[in-house]
Structure 1
Amino acid sequence: MSTAIVIILVAAIVFGLCRLVDKAFARVFRSKAQHMSGLAVRANKRYGLFGVILSTLGILAICAGVKGDRVLFWGGIIVLLMGAGLAAYYLSFGAFYDQDTFLLSRFAKKSVAYRYDQIQGQKLYLIQGGNVVIELYLADGNTLSLQSTMEGVYPFLDAAFAGWCRQTGREPASCDFHDPSQSLWFPTVEDT
């Protein structure tokens, strides 16, 4: 009985610490207006979940391998690094947006704000499993790749199209390329 209570207490402390770290991370690194809007495109939560699971398995393998099993030890280090990489990707990538701009956050790069009229065009890629990758080409030469499995991708594309039309002075009805059912929001790169 006392072992179960200890496990529950340890789990509660770990989850509480994770919540505090998440709040502190958001307060320190996500303080711009686009962050505060609550509107975002984020990597699927499974990246974060698999990152935590792999990190935990890596730590367990390292602990078990310390007693003499070198393969388990080095394998644990590799699994831990893979898990940490997935978790870092999940925490660092995002496109946060409001009515006029979007903020692109990437791993190990400074966040950059763009106006919607800086979107030059798009290109579509169909990947295995039926998922679609929508690559937006920006005026400064950068691209933003959005997968159909990302959270919030379609509301972002709808808002981006509305903002793009507003900022470029176009009427949405006059944009014959616009067909969300075919994953087309902007002119294809060949058309620009």
Structure 2
Amino acid sequence: MQFVIVLLIAAAVFGVCYLVDKGFSRAFRGKAQHRSGMAVRANKRFGVFGVVLTVLGVMAFCIGIGDGPVLIVGGLIVFAMGVFLAVYYLSFGIFYDGESFLMSRFGKKDAVHRYEEIVGQKLYVVQGGSVVAELYLKDGSTVSLQSTMDGVYPFLDTAFAGWCLQTGRDPESCDFHDPSKSLWFPPVEES
């Protein structure tokens, strides 16, 4: 019987998360880049682990009410971690079209950038083999893209094509461009 209750709670949590995601998208994402359907998102594991940790935190808290304060405190910590992961997954995104891209981050106002604002990139190899491409913009800000994000390579291809078009460069003359080595833009010199 308890197993069925846990399954029902898990199904309800997943259903609520789905409805919140759809409602959030309609209420706060009305710009052209949002409607293009092209996006770079955090890996889905962030959202899944966030929901799972939230459910586990609630379960530990409920069990801890009868068994002791350790489960209550532990449940609250796990719940907070789960909520953080789910909020990060829902709030982070790079939405783009052929002309520009829009950065959405938790706690910061959405920023629209044209591809011509990209001045260069740096590459970092992270332990585990993933690659981080950090794009530098004219205003001094950076956009960090990890190879494990969903949709990162189509975005970089579109960004390079838009950058060439907007800056008047011929893609064939860009000797730095080598997607097989994760190079799309000129390297940024160390300062």
TM-score, normalisation: structure 1: 0.92
Note the residue ranges of structure 2 that are not aligned, 5 or more in a row.
Answer: none
- 8 A contact 2:98–2:162 mirrored in 1: yes
For residues 178 and 191 of structure 1, the distance between their equivalents in structure 2, rounded to whole angstroms, comes to 19
**Equivalent residue, structure 2, for 1:115:** 114
Residue 138 of structure 1 and its aligned partner are, at CA, apart by 1.1
**Equivalent residue, structure 2, for 1:60:** 59
Residue 117 of structure 1 and its aligned partner are, at CA, apart by 0.4
- 8 A contact 2:103–2:110 mirrored in 1: yes
Aligned runs of 1:72-111 on 2, under 5 Å?
72-111=71-110
For residues 73 and 10 of structure 2, the distance between their equivalents in structure 1, rounded to whole angstroms, comes to 27
For residues 91 and 118 of structure 1, the distance between their equivalents in structure 2, rounded to whole angstroms, comes to 26
Q: What amino acid is aligned across from residue 181 of structure 1 in structure 2?
A: S
Aligned runs of 1:3-152 on 2, under 5 Å?
14-152=13-151
Aligned runs of 1:169-188 on 2, under 5 Å?
169-188=168-187
Q: What amino acid is aligned across from residue 170 of structure 2 in structure 1?
A: E
Q: Deviations along 1:14-39, whole A, 9 cap, x unmatched? A: 55443332221111111110000000
For residues 164 and 86 of structure 1, the distance between their equivalents in structure 2, rounded to whole angstroms, comes to 33
In the comparison of the two structures, how many residue pairs are matched?
191
For residues 190 and 3 of structure 1, the distance between their equivalents in structure 2, rounded to whole angstroms, comes to 60
CA pair 126-44 structure 1, distance change in 2 beyond 3 A: same
Residue 13 of structure 1 and its aligned partner are, at CA, apart by 5.3
Q: Deviations along 1:36-81, whole A, 9 cap, x unmatched? A: 0000000000000000001111111111112241111111111111
For residues 154 and 189 of structure 1, the distance between their equivalents in structure 2, rounded to whole angstroms, comes to 20
Note the residue ranges of structure 1 that are not aligned, 5 or more in a row.
Answer: none
TM-score, normalisation: structure 2: 0.92
Q: What amino acid is aligned across from residue 24 of structure 2 in structure 1?
A: F
Q: What amino acid is aligned across from residue 86 of structure 1 in structure 2?
A: L
Residue 140 of structure 1 and its aligned partner are, at CA, apart by 1.3
SS state of the match for residue 144, structure 2? strand
SS state of the match for residue 26, structure 2? helix
Q: What amino acid is aligned across from residue 113 of structure 2 in structure 1?
A: Y
For residues 27 and 121 of structure 2, the distance between their equivalents in structure 1, rounded to whole angstroms, comes to 33
SS state of the match for residue 190, structure 1? coil
For residues 185 and 191 of structure 1, the distance between their equivalents in structure 2, rounded to whole angstroms, comes to 18
- 8 A contact 2:10–2:55 mirrored in 1: no
